[in-house]
Structure 1
């Protein structure tokens, strides 16, 4: 199973916990001026971040410190994780060609 498949399966398996953590975190941002649209945007950003960080830790085996320090401390996003997956896959293909 390649890393993309592993990442997808891992998010599927842990999605309920990822979504709940994102909801809890987004809910903390509510104030009198927030709109539903703003809340939903924040919620989806949190799901994106938490799913990405989950895959980075569980599939890519990055340390929590490496994940926390990514993007100058703002955490990892889907594009960051995809780049790491693609780079890893390219390295594996190069190793296979060398054999």
Structure 2
């Protein structure tokens, strides 16, 4: 049996995520997350020995376009909607001393 998610854990995660939850939501999420863990536990009981690993459930191939050079923006168009620029470059806040 999987470990159940209790209301204390839901409150801790909500605080870390800066979420304000009502008591009803805390109870609801604790129950839903516990149900998810229970379902995952059931999936773990399946015999998957003969199932090949796969990256996608559908047969797909590379759908990316060819990487070819194309038309580029001129400097004026690129900086047009920038919140801050010096006319030649984007100006951003300093992040390192």
Q: Same fold (TM over 0.5)?
A: no
Structure whose alpha-carbon radius of gyration is higher: 2
TM-score scaled by length of structure 1? 0.36
- Report which structure shows greater RCO (CA 8 Å, sep ≥6): 1
TM-score scaled by length of structure 2? 0.37
